[in-house]
Homo-oligomer: A and B are copies of this chain.
Amino acid sequence: MSRLEALAKILEARAQATSGLVFNYTVPDLWNCFDYGGAELRKTPWGELVVNPYQFYLSVIRDFIQPKASARSGWGEPLNGSRELEPGLEGGDWIRRATVYSMMVRTSTAWDHDRSGSLEDVDLYGLKETGTFVKSLALLSLLHKMGITCVYLLPISKFSLKDKKGELGSPYGVSSFFELDPSLKDPMTGPDFTVEDEFRAFVEACHILGMHVMIDIIPRTNALDSDLILEHPDWFYWIRKEAMATYKPPYVPGLGTQVRPKAEFLPVIYQSEEVRQHLSSFQEDPAAADPGRWAELRARLEAHPEEGVLDAVRAAFGLTVAPAFSDQINDPQPAWTDVTFFRMYLDHPVAAVPFLDRAYAPYILFDVIKSNLFQGKVRNEPLWDLLAGIIPYYQREFGIDGARIDMGHALPKELVERIIHSARTVDPDFCFIAEEMEIERAEASRALGYNMILGDGFIQEPRVQEFKAHKYMYGAQSLPCPVYACGETHDTPRLAAREGGRTLSRLITILNLFVPNGVPFLNSGQEVYELQPMNTGLDCRPNEALLLDPKDPYYGRLALFDRYALHYLNPGRWELPDQLAWLAGLRQANLATFTRPGNAFLLGFNSPRDPGIAFGFRDDDARDAQREAGNLFVVVGNTDVHNSQYLTVQLQTMRAVSGNSARKGAQLFSSHGLAREVHDYDHRGDLSMSFQPGEVKIIRM
């Protein structure tokens, strides 16, 4: 039986069993884009709905998701797994037409359902207030409304709770690749339905709604107390536990700060006094140091796994796993205390050997970290096999459709190829996204088999005043693979918290739907103008984590580490979802027009310093014909988020190519106004219109 159907049956039984009970359990109205009709439903004036949770989540399956299931069965299989590839596209290139929503299950469906003032593990009703896959089914109704076709999940694997960051720990400190984070288990389903079952049901639901599911896998790093230590102590780097107190990335004089390691820097790196001290602090792994004692310890821990492997090793051997740190030389950030690196090679980097004055135990250093650039001779084959097996596990078990590879840029090329190959063997249309921010490296990523790269839109796009948004959005078209059209991620400041606030956020979010060769990417919370970042990893101001009202219950909290619920009750919460819903209709009805390479025109203005971004699109079904009218879309945004602007969009080239000579058009959409006829052409036939601050208009002509 389908896991979604099994889940529905469980909820049905619970709904019946609880039908006489009063539930003062609330969900934000944004989770109800399926017109829930439970008899017990009450709507509060501020946007919370009071519901019987079992009825509510049952209804989203029965009344919203399942009726959308077409005749096809096997929704638990990858969405495109058995399909022929489109001509001209490679496996996984469906991402070119996708609209991606990045969510963190724990946070995106967190809610203080009983309004006790805290997000409890067990609330008044015995239910979980942090997010779960089951609750995410309701959120899917919002995603569907907004035209999302791909759900990208931040890590969902089991992570370490040892020395955890924040209240809950970071899901990036993975301790076991082949178990799901047990905190995502929903108590509504009882003990017989596992969190794995719940994820399966979620994937099925996404597939029925036409959404691909992508996950984030993290093959370069692992939790300090990884479950793998016990069997494979030699896959890790070791230091004496006393050395932890002074452990840090060693300073290399003479190279400046935040320098990417290159071969020519190695002599300088290895001459550094701090580097030599650093290297000396590493030790043989405990099994190598004392195989007999290791065997004893291993036997004991297998009998008593609750003891905790890292604590046991520390106690027995005085050794501990060495923390990871940035791959950039002289990066000011300290060591990452919750994760370490895997030993990709069992020997030192070949290029480094000439600079080593003696035999050192396996060590972490900038070159070692960048194992794509600095390789050893002896591959850690069992590790590589394990890493290449992660995605196939998630494909077979859950039917996922794609993955982003975290720190893929620091993996040996051969390992990346092996990972990609393994996945594409299972599903030739599996999509891979490279964590590659440098758009210059798009070609290399494409060559490795990635379908697209991240890019750094989240740094460039918010900077409209410096014209960086313009450069990024106009530049994407010339890249050999798509990039994310993306104004914020879980690691960056929120668009609504940048200079320009909500006006900027709306401008960028809407324009991103139309960036040629860009894949629209929405970060959970972006649709409700969330201010607080989920993490302060990239491009953050010193006060970035303190943007909320100090009286806000989530003041100073970061979703990546803490209990956090998005501000779903924000009075402007429906503004972007409603506009995105309309735009999704336009996009879906003209998907080939907006996404097929060659249809787009980069449109200029009277002056290169005019604050505007404009794209033209020629109808895909008329791309080889000339037409006098009715074959073009023009999308124009006023990138001045503070002032109204009168902008003239140059159309001559596009008119010449398409044959369009229309002097009348239709304003289909404005972020600030209504649909209307357009007669605003100048004597040359260029569009000349007035825009409110940050306004985006879409003209059909």
Q: Which residues of A contact B (CB under 8 A)?
A: 21-25, 42-46, 50, 114-118, 124-125, 553
Contact = CB atoms under 8 A, between A and B. Distances in A.
A24 B21 contact: no
Nearest to A571: B551
Given A45-B553, A553-B45, A22 B117 contact: no
Nearest to A25: B24
Copies in the complex: 2
A364 B701 CA distance: 76
Nearest to A22: B124
A114 B115 CA distance: 10
- Tell me if A's interface is mostly helix, strand, loop or mixed: loop
A24 to B, nearest CB: 3
Closest 6 interchain pairs by CB?
A24-B24, A44-B117, A45-B117, A42-B116, A22-B124, A24-B114
Contacts of A24: 23-25, 114-115, 124
16 contacts: A21-B22, A22-B22, A22-B23, A22-B124, A23-B24, A24-B24, A24-B114, A24-B115, A24-B124, A42-B116, A42-B124, A44-B117, A45-B118, A46-B117, A50-B124, A115-B115
A625 to B, nearest CB: 55
Given A21-B22, A45-B118, 8 more contacts: A21-B21, A24-B25, A24-B114, A24-B124, A43-B117, A44-B116, A45-B553, A50-B114
Nearest to A113: B24
A118 to B, nearest CB: 8
Give the interface centre of A24, A115, A116 by most chain B CB atoms within 10 Å.
A24
Contacts of A45: 117-118, 553
A45 B112 CA distance: 12
Contacts of A118: 45
A124 B23 CA distance: 8
Nearest to A45: B117
A414 to B, nearest CB: 54
Contacts of A23: 22, 24
Contacts of A125: 22
A27 to B, nearest CB: 14
A125 B40 CA distance: 12
A117 B115 CA distance: 13
A650 to B, nearest CB: 46
A52 to B, nearest CB: 11
A21 B43 CA distance: 23
A115 B115 CA distance: 9
A28 to B, nearest CB: 14
Contacts of A44: 115-117
A265 to B, nearest CB: 52
A23 B21 CA distance: 10
A459 to B, nearest CB: 36
Nearest to A125: B22
A46 B553 CA distance: 10
A27 B117 CA distance: 14
A260 to B, nearest CB: 46
Give the interface centre of A25, A43, A44 by most chain B CB atoms within 10 Å.
A44
A116 B21 contact: no
Nearest to A112: B44
Give the interface centre of A43, A50, A553 by most chain B CB atoms within 10 Å.
A50
A554 to B, nearest CB: 12
Contacts of A46: 117
A50 B116 CA distance: 8
Contacts of A22: 21-23, 124-125
Contacts of A21: 21-22
A564 B46 CA distance: 18
A118 B44 CA distance: 8
Contacts of A117: 43-46
Contacts of A25: 24
Contacts of A50: 114, 116, 124
A44 B23 CA distance: 18
A56 to B, nearest CB: 15
A369 to B, nearest CB: 43
A118 B42 CA distance: 11
A45 B552 CA distance: 11
Contacts of A115: 24, 44, 115
Nearest to A115: B115
Contacts of A43: 117
Nearest to A551: B571
A555 to B, nearest CB: 12
